[in-house]
Amino acid sequence: MDRIRNYLDKHGYRSSIEDLYWIEVPEELLSPIQREHLSSCGPYIFSLETGKDWIKVELLVRPRATLRCQCIRYASREQRRYVIELVDEIIKGLDIAV
């Protein structure tokens, strides 16, 4: 877990809360309403939390600062695939056995 946290810190995913990281959703994966609200609400993120021996990704796509807006949505299939594959690639790239 230390190696994963170090990777996330080094690559700019850290939030202001300990053990919480923000994974930005690429613009091409945003829903139509998220694209429409990008300039006022964006960027859009997944929250990734690390624990003693676990990683948890929240599948709610939301802006970093906005708490209520119609653009906050559960992840689409493509958005879910993106974040799961990203986490998989980080783990594989660090040569961590699972």
The upper half-sphere exposure of residue 4, i.e. CA atoms within 13 Å in the direction of its Cβ, equals 23
pLDDT in tens, 34-74: 999 999 999 999 999 999 999 999 999 999 888 899 999 99
Secondary element (H or E) of residue 26: none
Question: What is the reported pTM?
Answer: 0.90
Q: Residue type at 7? A: Y
The ranges assigned to domains in the chain are 2-93
Residue 97 has pLDDT above 80, yes or no: no
Per-residue confidence band for 27, with pLDDT thresholds at 50, 70 and 90: very high
With both helix axes pointing from N to C terminus, report the angle between 2-10 and 77-93 in degrees, rounded to the nearest 10: 110
The upper half-sphere exposure of residue 88, i.e. CA atoms within 13 Å in the direction of its Cβ, equals 6
Comparing CA positions, the residue from 71, 51, 48 lying closest to residue 59 is: 48
